[in-house]
Amino acid sequence: MNTILFLRLFTEVDTEASALEVAKRIIALIIKFAKVENQSVQKYWKIPEYYEIFFKLSSLHNLPEDYQSILEILGTGWEQASDYESIWNPGDGKKFFVEEVKWAHLEGEGE
């Protein structure tokens, strides 16, 4: 069964073009675990210096395996909200491997 993952990121960059470059770098990291079905980049209304990047993804293998692989390839220090929902915030001992990212949320559904 096809499973869907949603990845939402906030990135601190100066332009939409820079945010699109961040999106490309994220895709390059996750491409072996998920196919990008939909992507959007827009200014974040709440924090003007942030851009929001949103991906709708299709898992390439199975939800547990791909979900965990995406978490591991993107960063360390994720907080698990539920079985297939995790949030990343900056903090001591936490690192996101695309440095412009300031917050991230990954959620999976299906299977």
Q: Render 71-86 in DSSP notation, one character per residue.
A: HHHHEE--EEEETTEE
What's the pLDDT at 2? 67
At the second CATH level, the architecture of 4-109 is 2-Layer Sandwich (3.30)
Confidence (pTM): 0.94
Q: If you average pLDDT over residues 30-51, what whole number do you get?
A: 96
pLDDT value of residue 27? 97
Domain coordinates in residue numbering, the chain: 4-109
Q: Name which residue leads in pLDDT, 98 or 110.
A: 98
* The amino acid at 95: K
Six token digits for residue 25: 């770098």
Q: What residue type is 64 in one-letter code?
A: P
The neighbour count for residue 50, using CB atoms within 10 Å, is 19
With a cut of 60, say whether residue 42 has pLDDT above it: yes
pLDDT-derived band at 92 (thresholds 50, 70, 90) equals very high
In the structure, what pLDDT confidence band is assigned to residue 109 with cuts at 50, 70 and 90? confident
In this prediction, residue 100 carries a pLDDT of 97
pLDDT of residue 71: 97
The pLDDT assigned to 111 comes to 54
